[in-house]
Structure 1
Amino acid sequence: MNEQQKKKISKFLSLVLRHKPETIHLNLDENGWAHVDELITKSRRDSYQGFTFEELDEIVATNDKQRFIFNQDKTKIRANQGHSVAIDLALQPLQPPEFLYHGTAEVNVPSILENGIEKRSRQHVHLSQDKETATKVGMRHGKPVILTIQTGKMQEDGILFYLSENNVWLTDFVNPEYISTI
C-alpha cells in the first residue's frame, strides 16, 4: 500500500471514527470503540473506501500522529482523540507539564487572545508537548503561530488535564489569562 492510499484510508477512518460514524452506519460504543469486522464490512458498502485487516493494521501501526488504536486483541478500534461525536475516552486527570503549546493560524490569534481557546465542535482543546508539533498543527490552517499555555498555573487553579493514548494533552477550555505568544 502506498502513502497516498494510506492517507486516503486514514482520512476516511478519521471521518467515521471521530465525526460521522453514520456515514457508513457504524456503531461506536460509549467509549468510541467500533468492531473491526463491522468497520471493514461497512467500509466496502456503497462505494466507500474498502480495505483489508492487514491494511488497517498497517495504518494504525504507521500513522505518524498515532490517531487510531486497537484494543488488546485487535477486535476493536477507535480514534485516540479529536471526536466531535459524544463519547467517553475514560481518561483520568493527570498533572501536565508547566507549559504546553497550541498551534494555530495567525488569523486566529486576536480572537484567541480575547476569547481563549475553545473546543468548539470537539470534545476537548488539544495541546502539544513541544513547539514542533504545535507548528505542524498551526500550518494546517495558514501561517502558524505558536501559543504558550501556562498549564501548571491552570492546574493550580483547578483546571483538569488529560493525556490521550497518542500523547496529546486535552482540556476543556483555555482562558486568555493563561496564553502568551512566542
Structure 2
Amino acid sequence: MQHRELVRLSKRMSKVLRHDPARAGLTLDPGGWVPVDRFLAAMKISRADLDEVVAGNDKQRFAVEPGPDGVERIRANQGHSIDVDLGLAAVPPPQVLYHGTSAAVLDSILSTGLHRAGRHHVHLSADTSTAHRVGARRAGAVVILTVDAAAMERAGHEFYRSANGVWLTDEVPPEYIHH
C-alpha cells in the first residue's frame, strides 16, 4: 500500500476507534476494544492492510492483542472522545513534559491552560522533538510549551502514560506552563 493510502486508512481507523464506532456499525467494549474480525468486516479491509497500518504507524496509535477469551482485538491507544476505560494507572511523570501547539492559540493557553478539548485527557510529550511533530499538525508556526509536571504532581494532579508513550493528564493549569 502506498504511503498516502496508509495515512488515509490510519485516519479512518482512528475516527472509528476513537470517536464514532457506530458509524461503522461497531460497538466497543468498556476498554475500547473490538474483535479484529468484526473490525475488518466493518471497515471492509484485509488483515494485511490492518497489519500494515498498525506496524507502519510511527505514532503507535493502535494496539492489537488477544483478549481474555483468546479472541484477537484492536483499539486506539488514546485520543478518544467517546467514553472508554483504558485501564491506565497513575504514574509519576518526569520533571517536565512538553506540548506542541500553534502560535495562534498561545495567548489563550497561557491565560487559561491546556484543556481536554473534547477528549478524555490533555496529551503531553516527553521530548521536544515529539512535541514539535504533534504541533506541526496544526496550521501556522509551532510553539513548544514546557509543563512543570513535577510541580503539578506535588499539587495533586495525576499523570498516566499510554501504551505508545504519550503522557496524559486531565488539565494543565496556566501556572504550570512556561514558554
Mapped partners of 2:108, 2:21: distance in 1: 32
The equivalences for 1:160-179 within 5 A come to 160-179=158-177
Which 4+ stretches in 1 moved above 2 angstroms? none
Mapped partners of 1:19, 1:85: distance in 2: 6
Which residues of structure 2 form unaligned runs of 5+?
none
Amino acid in the other structure paired with 1:149: V
Which residues of structure 1 form unaligned runs of 5+?
45-50
Mapped partners of 2:62, 2:42: distance in 1: 18
Q: Quote the offset at 1:152 in angstroms.
A: 0.6
The equivalences for 1:71-150 within 5 A come to 71-72=65-66, 75-141=72-138, 142-150=140-148
Mapped partners of 1:84, 1:74: distance in 2: 25
* Worse-matched range after superposition: 74-83 or 119-128: 74-83
Change (3 A) 1:80 1:74: farther
- Corresponding residue for residue 37 of structure 1: 37
- Corresponding residue for residue 54 of structure 2: 60
Mapped partners of 1:75, 1:12: distance in 2: 20
Q: Quote the offset at 1:163 in angstroms.
A: 0.1
The answer on whether the counterparts of 2:97 and 2:127 sit within 8 Å (CA) in structure 1 is yes
Q: Quote the offset at 1:61 in angstroms.
A: 1.3
The percent identity for this pair of structures is 47
- Corresponding residue for residue 28 of structure 1: 28
> RMSD across aligned C-alpha pairs, in angstroms?
1.0
Mapped partners of 1:81, 1:43: distance in 2: 20
Amino acid in the other structure paired with 2:84: I
- Corresponding residue for residue 158 of structure 1: 156
Q: Quote the offset at 1:74 in angstroms.
A: 7.0
Change (3 A) 1:150 1:74: farther
Deviations 1:85-119, CA, capped at 9 Å, x for gaps: 11000000000000000001001110001100000
- Normalized against structure 2, the TM-score is what? 0.95
Mapped partners of 1:124, 1:8: distance in 2: 25
- Normalized against structure 1, the TM-score is what? 0.93
Q: Quote the offset at 1:22 in angstroms.
A: 1.2
Mapped partners of 1:58, 1:75: distance in 2: 16
* Worse-matched range after superposition: 53-62 or 128-137: 53-62
Q: Quote the offset at 1:131 in angstroms.
A: 0.4
Q: In structure 1, the residue corresponding to 2:75 is in which secondary structure?
A: strand
Q: In structure 2, the residue corresponding to 1:121 is in which secondary structure?
A: coil
Amino acid in the other structure paired with 2:19: H
Mapped partners of 2:55, 2:13: distance in 1: 14
Q: In structure 1, the residue corresponding to 2:8 is in which secondary structure?
A: helix
The answer on whether the counterparts of 2:97 and 2:149 sit within 8 Å (CA) in structure 1 is yes
